[in-house]
Chains A and B, each alone.
Chain A
């Protein structure tokens, strides 16, 4: 259908390129043939109604799901379908429902984020040579820098679970940044925040961009998205409806229709949302879905998944 990729004018080289990403769970197509490019120095927003497949798309990008079709490449290299290798390559993420290591301290959480950028193995840890101590010191210094950056330095020894909600979100970002990514994926970073906190998060995202890290962000808060993003893509029912600058997307009547509830073909009802969620819940990060090769694009948008996912 409409897959009008807008090539941004003048910005840097592509960091992330997703081409033809399709994700099916059993009979349900959650993401259909999505193209998306993020260039260096850019903040790109991904919007769409509930159940549009935004998080599923994120999971495809980060190797948590193996897309049924399509490839994801980072700086020109096709990414493997392993979550830890994606992070190693340079893509870090946060989660929609915060997933911190709740019983580790704030500092330890960020140190875990350093995992891919350090390589002291078991022997090194057991023998505690000078190299180990140096690496630990450096990791800690870097982690403290990030905690300063996110304003959590004073709470370094608190357990993550004891932080207030807004700070947990920040800690998740700090932890993701610790892996020194070239691209940061934020999944609803301001969900449940008050306006001041949202404002602070905005500042934080700009600051991250200014460090040369490209950002792809899912968000419901339109104000936030349109303030923040250089480019916005709108996902509806797993398909990319439109992509462009804030003005273009805001002015697109199909987007307005999708959000205001005027049925666009068949707007996803509550049941469909539930189905997507249920299918995702059952998906495993290893077992790929049945690799049917039927055309992805032309089919109707009301996928009635009769097939029981069990």
Chain B
């Protein structure tokens, strides 16, 4: 299906390539320089952008964007020593980065103008930044396209614009010594950890929005440059190193946090992500839509709370933590089977609605069991408060500990405990995925009739997936109960502004990418951070969330990180051939 003729397509702006590159480069350097000037006169605007010679707050983001733009522009020009940056597209990364820098900078300038009330509040530095980033963008748009056009004939402006962001896949990399490859993987995870930590530590909404804008353009730029594929190939050859690096990066997070408040966010994201990963077994692998998943988390949490020795628990028994974890998981398992057994024989849509119902019923039942309108078990709407902190092997999770000269607060401790469970869930996910059972799940998802004709007992396997998902959530719930001190019915709604809840869990899986490991982790991080950091729009959060779900399904149903299988399923491209002899990449994500 390859056409022999290649059609060139004009750049968005008709400028000679050299001139365009020079413009982009000069613009990027000027932008870079402008971040060392004062952008405004008063420190009232958060981040103090008044200091000359020392960039702060949003200026740092502009600085990073401009620096990357300049680097990629040079690399695209073929400057020696930078070629490794652009194995794929040469000019589309520059365009994306220029666009990212431009939006971030203009957002900053506009935020200053609006918040402080007028253009007078802009110092010359701000003007220079705005103009320079615009110049960079103009230059970048003048760069030629990376791939030839598929169709001959004149293209409209919009076609040229979208085409300008396409990039070819990188070729095969020259082999490096394996120590170098391992170093690259380690560095990549290091950078990932840094970016994640930076996002969590943003202190005000403006900085977080700027961060999101820059990441939003920067991540695709890196992908267009082909660096993702290169890294993917490396991680596929060094699987164990990758897993270790990921673990070390995750483990290192609390040590980067001086403030326990941010460790709280980390711990909560981890709980959210772990539960989302459990849901991914159900939704992503077996294709079962579970809309009441948070109830299984609740079952685990309530079980742990009842057996925690909390003075408010109606059961006077205190179980050791490991026993509580098992009890919570077992209770969830039982509920999973009770809900799943009647429904999974039927059409998949019934499961969706029955789980939705179960989620509500669980909450209502917990609310009612207060001794007045039901048996006295859960204290009703007040929940079970004062859940004592865990103490394992003499390590009290409630107290700060000094490890390697870093003080780890309560939430850092729980973050590390949760990390242990995350690893369990990731292992369960990966191992079941790449096995006879996982293949049977995917087969059922693809075509249930054919799967049964291949000897798969579809009902049993679906029940297995559903029950496994429930068990994992129940297990996570037992930790959650201790992290949050209190379990109340209100924590387990279908949808509310604070994750995890059923709708957000599902959204995390879908936004990140169904059937992948990294997808739900990224999805959960975004869905937790965005509402947490952008408090000012809390009234419209859920509205925007709903609209975002609709748009996501319409325009990128496979999520941010596409499982290769899923991507093909959603977009009937049909032409994409699997890479030959490279199984590592053709499976679920890195």
* B564 proximity list for chain A (CB < 8 A): 159
Q: List 21 A-B contacts (CB under 8 A).
A: A84-B457, A92-B454, A99-B453, A103-B565, A103-B568, A105-B586, A111-B436, A120-B435, A120-B437, A125-B435, A126-B427, A128-B431, A135-B436, A139-B436, A157-B579, A157-B582, A159-B576, A161-B574, A162-B575, A162-B578, A179-B455
Check B455–A84 contact: CB distance below 8 A: yes
* A126 proximity list for chain B (CB < 8 A): 427-428, 431-432
* Chain B CB within 8 A of A73 CB: no
A102-B569, A103-B566, A120-B436 known; A84-B456 Cβ under 8 A: yes
* Chain B CB within 8 A of A237 CB: no
Contacts A132-B435, A136-B436, A159-B564 aside, 4 further interface pairs with beta carbons under 8 A come to A83-B452, A108-B442, A111-B439, A157-B582
CA distance A125 to B430 in the complex (A): 10
* B453 proximity list for chain A (CB < 8 A): 62, 64, 83-84, 87, 92-93, 95, 99
A residues near B (Cβ < 8 Å) are 62, 64, 83-84, 87-88, 92-93, 95, 99-105, 108, 111-116, 118, 120-122, 124-126, 128, 132, 135-136, 139, 157-159, 161-162, 175-176, 179, 285-286
Check B455–A87 contact: CB distance below 8 A: yes
* A285 proximity list for chain B (CB < 8 A): 449, 452
The residue on B at minimum CB distance from A83 is B452
CA distance A120 to B568 in the complex (A): 29
CA distance A301 to B577 in the complex (A): 50
Check B450–A101 contact: CB distance below 8 A: yes
Check B432–A113 contact: CB distance below 8 A: no
The residue on A at minimum CB distance from B446 is A101
* A101 proximity list for chain B (CB < 8 A): 442-443, 446-447, 450-451
* Chain A CB within 8 A of B580 CB: yes
CA distance A135 to B447 in the complex (A): 25
CA distance A115 to B431 in the complex (A): 17
- Among A93, A95, A159, which residue has the most Cβ atoms of chain B within 10 A? A159
* Chain A CB within 8 A of B458 CB: yes
CA distance A125 to B438 in the complex (A): 9
* B566 proximity list for chain A (CB < 8 A): 103
CA distance A112 to B453 in the complex (A): 11
* Chain A CB within 8 A of B174 CB: no
* A116 proximity list for chain B (CB < 8 A): 454-455
Checking A92, A115, A162, A176 against B436 with a beta-carbon cut-off of 8 angstroms, the contacting residue is A115
The residue on B at minimum CB distance from A122 is B437
* A157 proximity list for chain B (CB < 8 A): 578-583, 586
Check A104–B456 contact: CB distance below 8 A: no
* B581 proximity list for chain A (CB < 8 A): 157
- Among B431, B440, B581, which residue has the most Cβ atoms of chain A within 10 A? B431
Query: Hey, what's the 0/1 contact readout for B551-581 against A, CB within 8 Å counting as 1?
Result: 0000000000000111011000011111111
Check B565–A159 contact: CB distance below 8 A: yes
CA distance A286 to B288 in the complex (A): 20
The residue on B at minimum CB distance from A88 is B455
CA distance A101 to B568 in the complex (A): 12
* A122 proximity list for chain B (CB < 8 A): 432, 435, 437, 464, 468
* A121 proximity list for chain B (CB < 8 A): 437
Minimal beta-carbon separation of A150 from chain B (angstroms): 16
The residue on A at minimum CB distance from B579 is A157
* B574 proximity list for chain A (CB < 8 A): 161-162
Checking B345, B436, B454 against A179 with a beta-carbon cut-off of 8 angstroms, the contacting residue is B454
Query: Hey, what's the 0/1 contact readout for B455-484 against A, CB within 8 Å counting as 1?
Result: 111100000100010000000000000000
CA distance A108 to B440 in the complex (A): 10
Check B577–A158 contact: CB distance below 8 A: yes
Check A84–B443 contact: CB distance below 8 A: no
Minimal beta-carbon separation of B303 from chain A (angstroms): 22
Please list the 5 inter-chain residue pairs (A to B) with the smallest Cβ-Cβ separation, ordered nearest first: A116-B455, A125-B435, A87-B455, A103-B565, A99-B450
CA distance A115 to B455 in the complex (A): 6
Minimal beta-carbon separation of A120 from chain B (angstroms): 5
B residues near A (Cβ < 8 Å) are 345, 427-428, 431-432, 434-440, 442-443, 446-447, 449-458, 464, 468, 564-566, 568-569, 574-583, 586
Minimal beta-carbon separation of B177 from chain A (angstroms): 27
CA distance A95 to B450 in the complex (A): 8
* B428 proximity list for chain A (CB < 8 A): 126
Minimal beta-carbon separation of B472 from chain A (angstroms): 12
* B345 proximity list for chain A (CB < 8 A): 286
The residue on A at minimum CB distance from B452 is A83
Minimal beta-carbon separation of A281 from chain B (angstroms): 13
Checking A84, A120, A124 against B452 with a beta-carbon cut-off of 8 angstroms, the contacting residue is A84
* B576 proximity list for chain A (CB < 8 A): 159, 162
* A136 proximity list for chain B (CB < 8 A): 435-436
CA distance A59 to B209 in the complex (A): 58
CA distance A276 to B547 in the complex (A): 44
CA distance A37 to B498 in the complex (A): 65
Check A104–B431 contact: CB distance below 8 A: no
CA distance A90 to B28 in the complex (A): 69
The residue on B at minimum CB distance from A93 is B453
CA distance A128 to B433 in the complex (A): 12
CA distance A87 to B450 in the complex (A): 11
The residue on A at minimum CB distance from B435 is A125
Checking B427, B446, B464 against A104 with a beta-carbon cut-off of 8 angstroms, the contacting residue is B446
Checking A112, A124, A158 against B454 with a beta-carbon cut-off of 8 angstroms, the contacting residue is A112
CA distance A113 to B440 in the complex (A): 9
Minimal beta-carbon separation of A213 from chain B (angstroms): 16
Minimal beta-carbon separation of B471 from chain A (angstroms): 11
Minimal beta-carbon separation of B426 from chain A (angstroms): 12
The residue on B at minimum CB distance from A175 is B454
CA distance A99 to B444 in the complex (A): 12
The residue on B at minimum CB distance from A154 is B580
Minimal beta-carbon separation of A173 from chain B (angstroms): 13
- Among B428, B437, B442, which residue has the most Cβ atoms of chain A within 10 A? B437
* A159 proximity list for chain B (CB < 8 A): 564-565, 568, 576, 578, 586
* A62 proximity list for chain B (CB < 8 A): 453
CA distance A99 to B345 in the complex (A): 21
Check A64–B451 contact: CB distance below 8 A: no
* B439 proximity list for chain A (CB < 8 A): 104, 108, 111-112, 115
The residue on B at minimum CB distance from A112 is B443
CA distance A45 to B190 in the complex (A): 64
CA distance A120 to B576 in the complex (A): 33
* B449 proximity list for chain A (CB < 8 A): 64, 83, 99, 285
Minimal beta-carbon separation of A17 from chain B (angstroms): 20
The residue on B at minimum CB distance from A162 is B577
CA distance A88 to B452 in the complex (A): 10
* A84 proximity list for chain B (CB < 8 A): 452-458
* A99 proximity list for chain B (CB < 8 A): 447, 449-450, 453
CA distance A112 to B436 in the complex (A): 7
* A114 proximity list for chain B (CB < 8 A): 436
* B451 proximity list for chain A (CB < 8 A): 101, 112
* B580 proximity list for chain A (CB < 8 A): 157
A93-B453, A122-B468, A162-B577 known; A104-B565 Cβ under 8 A: yes
A128-B431, A161-B568, A162-B576 known; A87-B582 Cβ under 8 A: no
A101-B443, A159-B565, A161-B568 known; A125-B431 Cβ under 8 A: yes
* B450 proximity list for chain A (CB < 8 A): 95, 99-101
Minimal beta-carbon separation of A309 from chain B (angstroms): 18
Checking B434, B454, B468 against A87 with a beta-carbon cut-off of 8 angstroms, the contacting residue is B454
Checking A100, A112, A124, A175 against B440 with a beta-carbon cut-off of 8 angstroms, the contacting residue is A112
CA distance A139 to B436 in the complex (A): 10
CA distance A176 to B451 in the complex (A): 11
CA distance A162 to B568 in the complex (A): 10
A84-B458, A87-B455, A122-B432 known; A102-B446 Cβ under 8 A: yes
Minimal beta-carbon separation of B370 from chain A (angstroms): 38
* A115 proximity list for chain B (CB < 8 A): 436, 439-440, 454-456
Check A158–B578 contact: CB distance below 8 A: yes
CA distance A92 to B455 in the complex (A): 9
